[in-house]
């Protein structure tokens, strides 16, 4: 598997606080190693659009689709509680 970043994802990643960027970098490695790693809390977010959600921190999430052997990262944003 490999990661592919949409322009939208990259814009939001660059706007995110540095601590969130670092946390995401660690979580993206976990995604590549083990999609079902407990700290990711990965789950299907939108069945019809094939979008998944995973946890960056308690208050940030990232969204991605799985296309063949690619995780296409769509969005990273704060998650309202």
Question: Is residue 41 a contact partner of residue 79, using CB atoms and an 8 Å limit?
Answer: no
- Please tell me the number of Cα atoms within 13 Å of 1 on its side-chain side: 16
- DSSP-derived secondary structure for 25-47: HHHHHHHHH-TT-TTT--EEEET
**pLDDT at residue 79 tops 90:** no
Q: Please name the residue that has the structure tokens 């083990």.
A: 34
Q: Dump pLDDT digits (tens) for 16-63.
A: 999 999 999 999 999 999 999 999 999 999 998 899 999 999 999 999
Q: Provide the pLDDT for residue 54.
A: 97
Which pTM does this prediction carry? Answer: 0.93
**Predicted pLDDT at 7:** 98
Any idea what DSSP says for residue 15?
Answer: H
Asked if residue 6 lies in contact with residue 73, where contact means CB atoms within 8 angstroms, the answer is: yes
Q: What is the mean pLDDT of residues 59-69?
A: 96
């Amino acid at each position: 598997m490999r990661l592919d970043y949409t322009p939208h994802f990259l814009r939001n990643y660059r706007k995110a606080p540095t601590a969130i960027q670092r946390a995401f970098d660690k979580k993206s490695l976990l995604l590549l190693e083990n999609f079902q790693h407990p700290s990711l809390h990965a789950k299907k977010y939108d069945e019809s659009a094939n979008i998944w959600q995973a946890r960056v921190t308690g208050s940030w999430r990232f969204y991605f689709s799985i296309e063949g052997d690619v995780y296409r990262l769509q969005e990273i944003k704060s998650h309202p509680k």
